[in-house]
Amino acid sequence: MNAPAPSRHLLLWVPGLLLVLAAALAGWALAPGAAALAPALACALGLAGLVAWHSRRSEQVLRERLAEQAQRAGGLQQALSRAEAERAEALAAARAGEQRYELALRGSQDGLWEWEIAGDRMRLSPRWKSMLGYAEGELADTRAQWRACVEPQDLSALEQALQRHLADPACRFEGELRLKHKDGGVRWVLTRGVALRHASGTPYRMVGLDTDVTRLKRVETILDAVARGTADTFGEAFFQALVRHFARALEVDCAFITECADHPATRLRTLAFWSDDGLRDNFEYGLPGTPCEQVVGGGRTCFIRSGVQRLYPVEAGYEAYLGLPIVAQDGQVLGHLAFLDRAPRGEELLLESVYRIFTARAAIELELRELRQRVRAIETAAGS
């Protein structure tokens, strides 16, 4: 390491002064006297002054360096303080985000599941368990329990999709599967998940959300069944196919479709009547004392979950009723579509979006039939 400037100057002057001092002392030794000692004293004083100057200069340089180091230390301290503040702010934001996420999950209808891959540990949220009819303590938080809740026919596809996503983040983990409900039935869920990964890309945690889509799947299934069953059918064949496929898809004991036999309506005439897995002969009946009166008279849907035979004794033997008006383009009620069941029924029977499609088709069929009847009447009158 190079010596500081003051040290280099001192190193240049000290040897010369020492030589002069040595020569002066040697001369004084050969010829003692004050005159011979004077050069030695002058050299000694010069050397002492030089040493003192160097000491003061070194002290000044040291102070300057200490000040510089102190300034650098202060800058580093400020940078460290800023970094700590930014870290604390980031942690606070992360905690706030986690709290918002947790609150959002608590308020949602989705079931959360988490899989710690390294330890093969699983966490099933209370909402996930409740979707299947279980209390929080009734299902263990294990991957084996999670797999046991999946319908066996869907398990292989689920595992394959999971492994593809873990191997390649570009492969999304999303699909529909069936989960076993506590009541012995199944629930269709839309499952979506994402793997959390280290900087190296290795997954360490999987987080997923399951949404109950049972109702949507039911709508899809019923719509598909009735649409296929009534395709390419018209008139009487359409009405018969409609009640047959609705009765089977909805699993109800009775389904029928009617038209108003008079106007204003006091009586109805069945166009197709399905009961106990078979078509029955059509008939007329009066509206008073039946739940159909609310539908045709009021032009609105009537749903009675249970006790219909108590409210309307004419419906003895049946518990649930659902009736929907068939409305023409001008708003006139032309008839109705109705279902009866011997067991109480719940919200699963209310599929307004599906019914509207087929009651609109039924209205068109009825209006076309009336139009044909008018044309035939005109042709008959013209011929006579």
Q: What is d(CA 243, CA 248) in angstroms, rounded to the nearest whole number?
A: 9
Query: What average pLDDT does the segment 272-277 reach?
Result: 94
Whole-structure pTM value: 0.62
pLDDT at 108: 58
Task: Say if residue 187's pLDDT is above 60.
Answer: yes
Are the C-beta atoms of residues 195 and 203 closer than 8 Å to each other? yes
pLDDT at 86: 80
- Choosing among 2.60.120.200, 2.40.50.430, 3.30.450.40, 3.40.50.2020, the CATH entry for 218-383 is 3.30.450.40
Question: Between these two residues, 383 and 203, which has the higher pLDDT value?
Answer: 203
pLDDT at 300: 94
Residue 59 binned pLDDT confidence (cut-offs 50, 70, 90): confident
Mean pLDDT of the chain: 85
Where in the chain are the domains?
5-98, 109-212, 218-383
CATH of domain 109-212: 3.30.450.20
The DSSP annotation for 171-224 comes to S-EEEEEEEE-TTS-EEEEEEEEEEEE-TTS-EEEEEEEEEE-HHHHHHHHHHH
Q: What is the pLDDT of residues 76-95, one digit of tens each?
A: 788 778 878 887 776 676 56
Q: What is the dihedral of CA 234, 235, 237, 243, to 10 degrees?
A: 100
Are the C-beta atoms of residues 27 and 37 closer than 8 Å to each other? no
Task: Say if residue 130's pLDDT is above 60.
Answer: yes
With CA atoms as reference, report the closest residue to 323 among 290, 282, 357, 347: 290
Q: What is the pLDDT of residues 7-55, one digit of tens each?
A: 555 555 555 555 555 555 555 555 555 555 555 556 555 666 666 666 7
Say if 109-212 and 218-383 have the same CATH topology: yes
Tell me how far the alpha carbon of residue 128 is from its chain's centroid. 13
- The residues pairing with 100 across neighbouring beta strands, listed in sequence order, are none
Question: Between these two residues, 283 and 15, which has the higher pLDDT value?
Answer: 283
Q: What is d(CA 172, CA 165) in angstroms, rounded to the nearest whole number?
A: 6
The DSSP output letter for 110 is P
Q: What is d(CA 60, CA 261) in angstroms, rounded to the nearest whole number?
A: 118
Q: What is the pLDDT of residues 220-244, one digit of tens each?
A: 888 898 999 999 899 999 999 999 9
With CA atoms as reference, report the closest residue to 339 among 250, 237, 255: 255
